[in-house]
Amino acid sequence: MNQTLMHPLVASSVGNLLGLIAAYGCEPRYVPRLLYIMMMALLGQPAIWLETAKFGRRVARQPIEPAPLFIIGHWRSGTTHLQNLMSQDPQFGRVTLLQAAMPHTFLTLPEAMKTRIGRMLPQSRLMDNVPVGANVPWEEELALTAVGRLSFYHVSFFPRCMERIVREAVLFENGNAALVDRWQRQYLHFLRKVQLVQPGMRLLLKNPANTARVSLLREMFPGAQFVHIHRNPYKVFTSSVHLYQKAQEAWGLHRTDRARIVQQVLDSYPKLMRAYFAQRVGLPDRDLAELSFQSLQEDPIGALAGVYGQLNLPGFDAARPHFEAYIESQRHYEKNRLPLAADEKDAVARQWKDVFETLGYAV
């Protein structure tokens, strides 16, 4: 399938799309892709106005309660696998791919259109073999691409601006109040819409970018809890480079450059992790569980039992059959095998040394 047909920005408001192009630009060779995205955004704008008129007040009044449970960890660290597993527990609400991909209109989208979109989706994600479907759990960072500049996903569309996007949308320039306020308003609006269709259910939210937002999320949601999953940094590096290259080739409005991607991954990973290490200090044990991707692979039920016990979450025994059924369904899943060049391994070891040590991995 031509990935442009399912480009994440087609669900954007026209104003947001124009703002993104003004901020980051579009290279001439990608103008046809941009024109298609703009056409789809124009066609979808009336639906955005309709949903705002119909649900705007209800969404604004919708509380987000109970406080969410956040799955965090750098991209390619196992956050999706953990989310898919924990989402089998029926006590949790969740963000679906359809909601994240159509954040402005999913409340009023006709069932026939939802079915059509589901049929258009590829069978798996573009960077790995994880199955895709309209109702699978997804990360809310995708929704933010369609409402403003403050989404990490924009690195997939504007690779020349990767450093700026990470600095502004993930790290908020180390506390820029205007950026924080804008992000909070956009994030809360989307989560209220998600909560509106799952009233009273605790949202289980997975978003790697939130790894650097722990302190802010604790202020926004008193009682929030966190599960941090980590993975061998060498694996994270090769998988992250692969992810960015695939996404930028499929969706980019700038030409991608592997050397630029490698440098950005080398720079951004320790910044995200150091922000997390600083912000986890003082978090009560009952509010933070940490586990490795390896432990989740080797003993998924034991790892989940540890998370539920650490956070004092109810319902593990009732959810266990659901977990086991999902684990069985993934028995034949095949992970990517990605090589690591010697010079890149040396750079990772040198630049990420403190993260290796803090997480307990051998350099």
Closest by Cα among 320, 89, 78, 319 to 203: 89
Tell me the average pLDDT across 183-207.
97
pLDDT at 133 exceeding the cut of 90 = no
Domain that holds residue 255: 3-359
User: For the residues 228-242, what does the mean pLDDT come to?
Assistant: 96
What strands, in cross-sheet order, belong to the sheet with 288-292?
A: 92-94, 202-206, 69-72, 225-230, 288-292
Average pLDDT on 90-107 reads 95
Indicate the length of the chain as a whole number. Answer: 363
Residue 331: predicted pLDDT? 80
pLDDT of 116 > 80? The answer is no
Is residue 203 classed as helix, strand or coil in its secondary structure? strand
Does the pLDDT of residue 3 top 60, yes or no?
no
Q: Is the sign of the CA dihedral 308, 66, 210, 153 positive or negative?
A: positive
207 vs 135, residue with greater confidence: 207
pLDDT the model gives residue 214: 97
Q: Which DSSP helix (H) or strand (E) runs through 207?
A: none
Q: What is the DSSP string of 29-84?
A: GGHHHHHHHHHHHHHHHHHHHHHHHHHHHHHHH----SPPEEEE--TTSSHHHHHH
Secondary structure class of 131 (helix, strand, coil): strand
Looking at residue 1, what is its pLDDT?
43
Residue 26 tokens read as 């579009």
Q: What is the mean pLDDT of residues 242-258?
A: 93
pLDDT of residue 135: 84
Report whether 53 contacts 105 (CB < 8 A). Answer: no
Count of structural domains, the chain: 1
Query: Cβ distance 286 to 38 under 8 Å?
Result: no
Task: Work out the average pLDDT over 348-363.
Answer: 96
More reliable by pLDDT, 120 or 264:
264
**Interval 25-50 mean pLDDT:** 96
pLDDT tens by residue, 289-303: 999 999 999 999 999
Q: At what angle do helices 233-251 and 258-280 cross, to 10 degrees?
A: 130
In whole angstroms, how large is the CA radius of gyration of the chain?
Answer: 20
What CATH code is carried by the domain that includes residue 233?
3.40.50.300
pLDDT above 50: residue 76: yes
State the average pLDDT for the chain: 92
CA gap 191, 64 in Å, rounded = 7
Backbone dihedral angles phi then psi of residue 87, each to the nearest 5 degrees: -70, -10
State whether the Cα torsion 235-133-64-59 is positive or negative: positive
Q: Which two tokens stand for residue 36?
A: 């298609």
First and final C-alpha spacing in the chain: 40
Check pLDDT > 50 for residue 74. yes
pLDDT number for residue 342 = 94
Confidence at residue 12, expressed as pLDDT on a 0 to 100 scale: 95
pLDDT at 130: 66
- Three-state DSSP at 243 gives helix
Q: Looking up tokens 């937002």, which residue turns up?
A: 213
The average pLDDT across 224-251 equals 95
Q: How would you class 120 by CB atoms within 10 Å of its CB: exposed for 0-12, middle for 13-18, buried for 19 or more? A: exposed
Phi first, then psi: what are they for 40, rounded to 5°?
A: -65, -40
What pLDDT does 115 receive?
76
- The pLDDT assigned to 166 comes to 95
| 162 in Cβ contact with 264 (< 8 Å) | yes
> Measured between alpha carbons, how far is 137 from 352 in angstroms, rounded to an integer?
31
For 47, phi and psi rounded to 5 degrees? -65, -35
Distance of CA 172 to the CA centre of its chain: 17
**Model pLDDT, residue 111:** 81
